[in-house]
Amino acid sequence: MSATTPDSRLAALSLAALGVVYGDIGTSPLYAIKEVFGGAHHPVPITPDNVLGILSLIFWSLMIVVSLKYVTFITRADNRGEGGIMALMALALRPTAPGSTRRRLIILLGLFGAALFYGDGVITPAISVLSAVEGLEVATPAFKPYVLPISLIILIVLFAMQRHGTAAMGNFFGPIMVLWFLTLGVLGVVSIAESPEVLRALGPWHAVSFFADHPLLGFFSLGAAVLALTGAEALYADMGHFGRRPIQLAWFVLVLPALLLNYFGQGALLLRDPQSIVNPFYLLAPAWLLYPMVVLATTATVIASQAVISGAFSMTQQAIQLGFSPRMEISHTSDQQIGQIYLPGINWTLLAAVVALVVGFGSSSNLAAAYGIAVTGTMFITNLLAFFVARYVWGWSLWRALLGALPFAIIDLAFFSANSVKIADGGWFPLVFGVGVYLLLSTWKRGRDLLSARLAEDVMDTRTFIEGIEGVTRVPGTAVFLTPNSDNIPHALLHSLKHYKALHERIVLVSVEILDIPRRTDGSRRVAVVRLADNFWQARVFYGFMEQPNLPEALEWCADYGLTFDPMDTSFFLGRETLVPRLHSEMWSSWRGKIFAGMFRNAGSAASFFGLPANRVVELGTQVVL
């Protein structure tokens, strides 16, 4: 069979998905059962009925929340094949009117969901690596003082390696995760064989009976049981890299069976020896396998962390393109994979937050309280956005959209409510972190809208300007002016004329428009070019919100419309605004105005962001009174 057949390609993509999509949920067995029965927050007493009840709860949670909700339903709510909070928000916004209440609500949900995802990006590396290295304590308590330093070293090296990209390591991620999941399954099978009665937990009545006998304890147990679902959001967020079918195949063929076997294996171990709650995951393994398991688990958690970090980079790029974040330095780390990017500012901010978390919380058990809030909050918001997509994009009737979303929303709220009781014990972190990120994103969007409105007050219509420049000296060459709207004359052009008393022989007004789709397809329009009088041109360049603009390349596409460029005879003119506070301005008297001013001053260079040659760029400053 040829290596390029559809079946072989599906298998290859499924293998690759294992190394990126399933690292987070695949490392949950390291701490989920331990937190339910041995955590610091309302541990469940280890009795046969309770063990079966919790296993039944985890089994049906994985089946309903992950298999049914995410793998089967949510992955259908794709934006041209792309998933994730920002892509879902862009899709839900497509049929909404500007300024409408629904639009504002969708943006609020999307931004706060994205903010919680950043919180997840901080907590996942911390709790995953800590829980893996804590396996050394099982070998001998003498290792306990070294768990924290070893974890910090691993995390610092992980973040320091980000600038080199993951293209080379990516080839090994899939096979390593295959080994990881096979190991999970084998260890589970061996333990289940010794206590096969644990399989009775497959029946949902054990979970129902557990909640009926211990309603309050059952409610609290949801806060720890949800740790088995961490990483479910990644199934959707990383869908654009692999496609829906490979993700589904990997889940049902390998990941789900391996996870269930391991959870049931840990449950069987607790039935035989309740004292093994000290670390039921590592105690599943025979003594001779303990150190190799620590190495394998640590590698798996590094892979899980890598996926979340890469997701934070991708999320930031989307936020920049959609206008919710200032421009930042973006480096492409692979010539083959367009999605392989590195943002140094985000990278080092995440590392600082992760180190603070590890030092501040000290153990995976202490971090578990913080983890649940971030996970359940993101899951609930995804559910709400999916409702808007089903109702207004797919055209479902109200009752059908409610019927599809309401059961999942109730489950999400139950998990979130159970975690909310742990806010004082660490759950405050993702909420505070999320609110902080949300305020930054929303402040930037609001500030840019106000700035755009202010600039629009003084604009001059392009055709009116052309009619009024008769007799102005023209000098050889092409001048390209970037502008948000090519129908209006940019301030940089007006200032250029004011200072030089001349215009270039050919003027091209270029506007970049970010579409509500991830990437343009081969058949979609890349540029729109209009020739005006007096050798003026308008060029509109279109990009998807996951594409990185490259204007020199885009201008080459204009040749199909009769607009050609000589790179050595072309100059790019950019406007650089300086914000000046208006006397008694409400904006500048508020703390959000001051935050926006700081973000505006520190935003990345437009020339660098649009890929302009540094030696061909002229920046003209203008003061804007706000």
Tokens for 395?
């055209």
Q: Which pLDDT does position 567 carry in this prediction?
A: 85
CA atoms within 13 A on the CB side of 487: 1
Cα gap 433→356, rounded to integer Å: 13
Q: Which pLDDT does position 1 carry in this prediction?
A: 41
Cα gap 262→190, rounded to integer Å: 10
Proportion of the chain above pLDDT 90, given as a percent = 38
Q: Which pLDDT does position 423 carry in this prediction?
A: 84
Please tell me what DSSP assigns to residue 45: P
Proportion of the chain above pLDDT 70, given as a percent = 94
Distances 18 to 11, 106, 238, 581 between C-alpha atoms, Å? 11, 31, 11, 52
Are the C-beta atoms of residues 70 and 235 closer than 8 Å to each other? Answer: yes
Give the pTM.
0.83
Q: For the residues of 472-505, what is the DSSP string, one character each? A: -EEEEEEEEEE-S-TTEE-HHHHHHHHHHSEEEE
Render pLDDT for 167-193 as a digit per residue (tens, 0 to 9): 555 567 788 899 999 999 999 999 999
Please tell me what DSSP assigns to residue 286: -
* CATH, domain range 16-446: 1.20.1740.10
Tokens for 284?
């599943």
E runs forming strands in 241-399: 331-332, 341-342
Cα gap 78→564, rounded to integer Å: 37
Q: In 3D, which of 254, 229, 207, 242 has the Cα closest to residue 78?
A: 242
Cα gap 81→36, rounded to integer Å: 36
Computed from CA positions of residues 582, 588, 594, 595, in that sequence, does the dihedral angle turn out positive or negative? negative
What are the start and end residues of each CATH 1.20.1740.10 domain in the chain?
16-446
Distances 574 to 429, 504, 598, 614 between C-alpha atoms, Å? 41, 15, 21, 12
Render pLDDT for 428-457 as a digit per residue (tens, 0 to 9): 888 888 889 999 998 898 888 888 888 777
Render pLDDT for 550-566 as a digit per residue (tens, 0 to 9): 899 888 889 888 899 98
Burial of residue 308 (number of CB atoms within 10 Å: 0-12, 13-18, 19+): buried
Tokens for 179?
């080994």
pLDDT-flagged residues of the chain (< 70): 1-4, 165-171, 240-241, 332-340, 521-524, 583-589, 626
CB atoms within 10 A of CB 17: 28
- Strands 536-543, 527-531: pairing kind: antiparallel
